[in-house]
Amino acid sequence: MKCPYCSYEESKVVDTRPTDERERIRRRRECLSCSRRFTTYEIVESMPTIVVKKNNRREQFDREKLLKGLMRACDKRAVSVDTLEHIVDEIELKVQNSLDREVTSVRIGEYAMEYLKEIDQVSYVRFASVYKQFKDIESFMEELSKLKDEN
């Protein structure tokens, strides 16, 4: 951190504390050259994740949209909203931790199906039927057979 008084590039941190909103960190620093003190604020820089849709359209990742899709698949099933929010948190974390700033909707759908398959198979089939856009009863039955074989 460059000193605002003498432009020396090294300083030591004397005090660190979060701001009132807890969105930033306030640091008191002391210049190692002129010994004057100054304050800096640090914030986390968030880069938006872009979702590439099947038609190549791009939009910003929307956790609420994913949650609504999962809730629709789990309608009238014994799956709590807390569980679904946890799934969305996990998927969002995977997406943000990837080195790519763009992720395909296909990948997000696959993540969601992995979690649903473990939690509730009926919800999984509901989600898969919309996500995979089954063309006929044969493709639907094929997915059911795969699920049955895995069990």
User: Residue 66's CB: how many other CB atoms inside 10 A?
Assistant: 22
Q: Which two tokens stand for residue 36?
A: 């004057």
Indicate if 73 and 21 belong to the same structural domain: no
Render pLDDT for 114-149 as a digit per residue (tens, 0 to 9): 999 899 888 988 888 777 666 667 776 777 777 777
Which residues span the domain enclosing 68? Answer: 50-150
Indicate if 107 and 131 belong to the same structural domain: yes
CB contact at 8 A, 42 and 23: no
Render pLDDT for 89-117 as a digit per residue (tens, 0 to 9): 999 889 888 878 899 998 999 999 999 98
Provide the number of structural domains found in the chain.
2
Q: Tell which residue, 19, 35, 44, 39, has the closest CA to residue 27.
A: 39
N-to-C CA span, the chain: 58
Do the bridges between strand 37-43 and strand 24-31 make them parallel or antiparallel, or are there none, so unpaired? antiparallel
Render pLDDT for 19-57 as a digit per residue (tens, 0 to 9): 877 778 999 999 999 999 999 999 877 778 899 998 999
Model pTM above 0.85: no
Q: Is residue 120 included in any domain, yes or no?
A: yes
